[in-house]
Amino acid sequence: MPLKAICTDIDGTLLDKNRELSPRTRRAFARLPAEVPVILASSRMPSAMIHLLKDLGRENDPLICYNGGYVLPTYSAKQHPIRSVWIPVEICQQIALLAQSTNIHLSLYSGNSWYAPKRDAWTEKEERATKVQATLLENAAVFSSWAKNGCGAHKVMCMGPENEIQTLYEQLQERLSSVLHLYRSKNTYLEIASKPISKATGLEDVLTNLGIKMEEVIAFGDNYNDIELLASVGLGVAVGNAIDEVKAVARETTASNKQDGVAIAIEKYLL
């Protein structure tokens, strides 16, 4: 079956060692037919993704944000999300309570907003990586606003010492794993989203709008939150630096992200 769409993870997959789009990657995407949508799927917020679509000349293509918790047909203030799944405020407060009295930095994300409790090394690191500036606001103030407006978090990001992140992960796994998806993107990072969503469910939502089937998609990934995505599409491709669990479900493994693995596969299958 012909491939009609591309879905790719960003960090560790599409971006190079400098967390940028390499020249070869830019050239490969530039040669793609306009009718082949390029769908970015990430734990990032929308504004941390749109600059990449613009660099690829695809700023009107869909976005799967927060690992599928917030899915946009295009990046536009006029567009309503295809899907929006929050972590309720009460659950966010429980997470914050467990992180209290630790050295863990807890950032809160909702829609296209990122709230950090203070400007510290973790905030600055994320700002450099994502090219987005945080709104500084205490967690309690964010929770109060959300409670009044009937919304919640699309993502809770916990960053801190490895041992404390591990302890928090174990506590949440024991108490809230039935309602939360817990993702250790790094030893010092814990990313938290609502349980029912994934990049695969986000892609299904996008494709329904486009009239494309899952088996007509080539998808790329490297980490745990890409496993379901790669297993669900017609051609799941793991980059060379992917974890073994991702390679196990992928139909093919390409070169690493530092060696233009996504571009190489696009040149092979779509150009």
pLDDT above 80: residue 79: no
R_g over Cα of the chain: 18
pLDDT above 80: residue 160: yes
Q: 5-83+197-269 adopts what CATH topology?
A: Rossmann fold (3.40.50)
Q: 86-194 adopts what CATH topology?
A: 3.30.1240
CA distance linking residue 250 with residue 97, whole number of Å: 39
Q: Residue 133: which pLDDT band, with cuts at 50, 70 and 90?
A: very high
Mean pLDDT of the chain: 95
pLDDT above 90: residue 77: no
pLDDT above 70: residue 44: yes
Q: What is the pTM of this model?
A: 0.93
pLDDT above 90: residue 196: no
Domain spans in the chain, listed from the N-terminal domain onward? 5-83+197-269, 86-194
pLDDT above 90: residue 67: yes
Q: Residue 186: which pLDDT band, with cuts at 50, 70 and 90?
A: confident
